[in-house]
Amino acid sequence: MENPCALVWRFGPESPGWGGLLAAAAAHGVALRAVGDGDLAARVGDLCDGRPGPGFAPLILLPPTPALIVRGLSPQNGSLGAFLDDVRRGGAVFPLRAMVTPTSEGWTLLRLLQELAAEHEAMRHDR
pLDDT digits (tens, 9 = 90+) for 78-91: 999 999 999 999 99
Q: Give percent of the chain with pLDDT exceeding 70.
A: 95
Residues 15-29 pLDDT 10s: 999 999 999 999 999
**Is the pLDDT assigned to residue 13 strictly greater than 90?**
yes
pLDDT at position 56: 74
**Is the pLDDT assigned to residue 67 strictly greater than 90?**
yes
| Residue numbers of the domain that contains 55 | 5-126
Looking at the 3D structure of the chain, how many domains does it have? 1
3-state SS record for the chain: CCCCEEEEECCCCCCCCHHHHHHHHHHHCCEEEEECHHHCCCEHHHHHCCCCCCCCCCCCCCCCCCEEEEECCCCCCCHHHHHHHHHHHCCCCCCEEEECCCCHHHCEHHHHHHHHHHHHHHHHHHC
Mean pLDDT of 95-99: 94
